[in-house]
Amino acid sequence: MYLKKLILFFGLLFSFVPFAFATDLTIYTYDSFNSEWGPGPTVFKRFQEQCQCKLKIVALGDAGLMLNRVILEKANPKADILLGINDSHLGKAFEADIFTSYQSPLLTKIPQHLQMDAQYRITPFDYGFMAFVYDSEKIKSPPQSLEDLLAPRYQNKIVIEDPRTSSPGLSFLHWTISVYGEEGYLDYWKKLSPNLLTITSGWSAAYGMFTKGETPLVLSYATSPAYHLEYEKTERYQAAVFAEGHYQQVEFAGIVKGTKKEKRAQEFIDFMLSAAFQNAIPLTNWMFPVIEYQPLPDSFRIAARPASVKTLDFDRVYQQNSKWLKSWTRALGN
């Protein structure tokens, strides 16, 4: 009798093991998304409570590192969802064929210009605009265009990020190409060079120099001033609004092809477009949500939304980016 009960017990135990593992979902994202101040801890907890399942979150530096990891694992995928690539990486991702299609019913709530794939391989979750943020106590007449940044009064006063290692830096390179074209962007950069105090490897280093007072002008996001207003109660830091428009950056998530948890992954994509996720974006990721279920925080009244938006076709970026970066490196003397 005891043996029969033991066999029955282990039979029931192992019958539940596959089900338990089936509820898990592995998400690759970038470091700051899953940091203590980012949206990750909030939104991932909310999803786990909703689905009664367990998430495994793997933070892998930046968007480029995440994408490369998924491509390397393509034959034996470890992730179910890639969360946080931007439009600069779409061409490479699509060429590698790493995503499976999913059309969430909530896509109808998202503005059409933010939906960049007719095959629904990726789903947008937030967006923002590149901008030069300035210290209004040190700069009384801020620049009003990219051309204004070339003025002698800004000599050694601008800090930007390296486009070879930084997402904002790469977006600024693309911004100059969108305005001046491939025939004129290098000439612009050569003229800008004397005004660059330094080029940092990433956003954190550049913005740290800015907030420490080492430079009065930094490449960041149009939403950056809202952070200072929200948490420091100051409007000292402002985003310069440029006449020719600002470069747009959209962030996406995609379901990794080959996942064995496709239904759960689709459930997460739907959750990502719900109020529980979207409402957390402004004050954690400091971007605009793709669906505004509620009014933006009051601090976002100083987050610039430019009238004109600059973009580049992601296929063109994929085909030309390596050439652009090599030319940029030569033009600025490495």
Rounded average pLDDT over 271-285: 97
Candidate from 5-19, 91-105, 169-183 with smallest mean pLDDT: 5-19
Name the CATH superfamily housing domain 129-248+304-329. Answer: Periplasmic binding protein-like II (3.40.190.10)
Are 60 and 28 a contacting pair, CB within 8 Å? yes
**Partners of residue 59 on adjacent β-strands:** 29
Neighbouring CB atoms inside 10 A of 23's CB total 14
Count CB-CB contacts under 10 A for residue 134. 26
Domain boundaries, the chain: 10-127+250-301, 129-248+304-329
Per-residue pLDDT at 17 exceeds 50: no
* Alpha-carbon span 206 to 221, nearest angstrom: 12
- The CATH architecture annotation of domain 10-127+250-301 reads 3-Layer(aba) Sandwich (3.40)
pLDDT at 23: 57
Q: Check residue 88 and give its pLDDT.
A: 86
pLDDT surpasses 80 at 5: no
* Distance in angstroms (rounded) separating the CA atoms of residues 89 and 279: 25
The residue that leads in pLDDT, 203 or 135, is 135
Dihedral angle computed from the Cα positions of residues 113, 290, 283 and 34, in that order, rounded to the nearest 10 degrees: -100
Position of tokens 């539940």? 16
pLDDT digits (tens, 9 = 90+) for 181-221: 999 999 999 999 999 999 998 888 999 999 999 999 999 99
Give per-residue pLDDT as tens, 89-128: 899 999 999 999 999 999 999 999 999 999 999 999 999 9
Q: What is the pLDDT of residue 2?
A: 45
Residue 134 above 50 pLDDT? yes
Indicate if the pLDDT at residue 1 is higher than 90: no
- Whether the CB-CB separation of 140 and 173 falls below 8 Å is answered with no
How far is residue 67 from each of residues 72, 197, 261, 265, 321, measured CA to CA in Å? 9, 31, 19, 18, 16
State pLDDT tens for residues 231-264. 999 999 999 999 999 999 999 999 999 999 999 9
3-class SS shares of the chain: helix, strand, coil, % to 5: 45, 20, 35
Q: Which residue has the tokens 């296929």?
A: 315
Are 10-127+250-301 and 129-248+304-329 in the same CATH fold? yes
